[in-house]
Amino acid sequence: MGTRVFTPSAARRSLEGIRPTAENMSLLYCAMERRRPRVGAGDRPVDPDYFFMARRLTAAMDRLREAGVRIEDPRSGSIGFPARRAGRMVLLCWRVGEPNLGYWHEIEGGLVRRHPVDDDGPWEGNDERNRP
């Protein structure tokens, strides 16, 4: 199956449904970091909650991928929606804590090179085809 391509409006509609999953992913990831077994801990048992959280984290990440988004940073809850702008693939991006989807960046540019979304920009795609 090919990569799902979003326009800004299709990504915003999709974000409405997956925002709680991205928020949960971030919370779980951070909680797991606090419970991560320490190097040199020897034969100490691992907190059973760690494995429970790992299964929930994996399920959340699977749901996000099934929705067609790319997980950029599970700690911050940063996700990217593949989009086509002026003939090249980019990512419309959002992260936990932001009020809405308002930025895009080049696939390889990363979050440090985010640009504001210009809804009237050269976005390519069919919103009706890309509805969740």
Structural domain spans, the chain = 8-38+48-124
Can you give the pLDDT of all 132 residues of the chain as single tens digits?
467 899 999 999 999 999 999 999 999 999 998 887 777 666 777 788 889 999 999 999 999 999 999 999 999 999 999 999 999 999 999 999 999 999 999 988 766 788 999 988 899 875 544 444
Alpha carbon of 123 to those of 6, 13, 37, 56: distances in Å? 9, 16, 45, 35
Q: What is the pLDDT of residue 99?
A: 95
What is the rounded CA–CA span in Å between residue 128 and residue 36?
43
- For the entire predicted model, the pTM comes to 0.85
| Cβ neighbours for 108, distance < 8 A, ≥ 6 positions apart | none
Tell me the CA end-to-end span of the chain in Å, nearest whole number: 16
